[in-house]
Amino acid sequence: MVMCYTSFVAACWKMYSTPEDWNYGWVLLWHVLGAGLVALQIWTAVSVYESLGEFGWFFGDFFYDHQAKLTYTSIYRFLNNPERVFGT
């Protein structure tokens, strides 16, 4: 996820410019919604890592863990596949 966040910050640094008037049109609303979506994605990534642990986050797709059980804590209480929905 480090490369994902690094490339996102680099793209924002290169392409973003602050608006001159924050009260014009929908500028403030779009910034609040954008910051909320970024915060939601970060919370989703952290929650998935806390639920699955290091094995599930890095190696779970390649190696089968025989003692694994379904988990319904953290974000998995609300969604079955949050990494597919929010793109983590």
Q: pLDDT tens digit string along 62-80? A: 666 666 666 677 777 777 7
The candidate with the shortest Cα–Cα distance to 47, out of 86, 20, 3, is 86
Q: Give 50's contacts (C-beta < 8 A, 6+ positions apart).
A: 74
- Letter for the amino acid at 53? G
Residue showing tokens 């806390």: 50
The torsion defined by the Cα of 87, 10, 36 and 34, in degrees rounded to 10, comes to: -100
Output the tens digit of pLDDT for each of the chain's 88 residues: 778 889 989 999 999 999 999 889 999 999 999 999 999 988 888 888 887 777 766 766 666 666 666 667 777 777 777 766 666 5
Domain that holds residue 23: 2-85
DSSP 25: T
Looking at residue 15, what is its pLDDT? Answer: 93
> Which pTM does this prediction carry?
0.64
Structurally, how many domains does the chain consist of?
1
